[in-house]
Structure 1
Amino acid sequence: MLLATEIERVFVFDNNGNEITLTDPEPRWSEEAVLDFYANSYPILTTAKISAPKFRDDKIFYRFESVIGTKG
């Protein structure tokens, strides 16, 4: 018998040295829609990109990475 289960998505980003883990607000949303949703609370995400997914502990992790560099 084949049993299908939904894999939990977890979104992570680095906020000035503090790693923040975000839950999935709506499993049916695309990763880009989740990024847009959280950009309202975390403005640094407005210029972020989404890294390739990584599987760990029966979950799929996406990392939001800022594309803005530091000056100097």
Structure 2
Amino acid sequence: MLLATQLERKFRMEDKGQEIILTDPDEGLSPEAVLNFYSNSYPLLTTATIAGPTIQDDAVWFEFKTTIGTKG
């Protein structure tokens, strides 16, 4: 028998070399809306881009990538 389940969405970002895992505030929000939601708590996300989704460990992962503070 085949069983289909919905995978949980998870979001990650890196700040000062530290990986931060962010939970999904609302499954109905788009990844862009989640980015806007968390930008109130993490100002560096105001200029971030979204990478993904990738599937890993039974979850759908989106990564918020920032370029502030890097050269090149």
TM-score w.r.t. the length of structure 2 is 0.88
1:61 aligns with 2:66: no
Unpaired stretches in structure 1, ≥5 consecutive residues: none
Moved more, 19-28 or 62-71: 62-71
Taking the aligned partners of 2:33 and 2:53, their CA distance within structure 1 comes to: 15
Taking the aligned partners of 1:33 and 1:44, their CA distance within structure 2 comes to: 15
* AA in 2 matched with 1:39: S
Unpaired stretches in structure 2, ≥5 consecutive residues: none
RMSD over equivalenced CA pairs, Å: 1.8
Runs of 4+ in 1 over 4 A off after TM superposition: none
1:34 aligns with 2:34: yes
Taking the aligned partners of 1:52 and 1:21, their CA distance within structure 2 comes to: 15
Aligned length: 72
Taking the aligned partners of 2:45 and 2:23, their CA distance within structure 1 comes to: 15
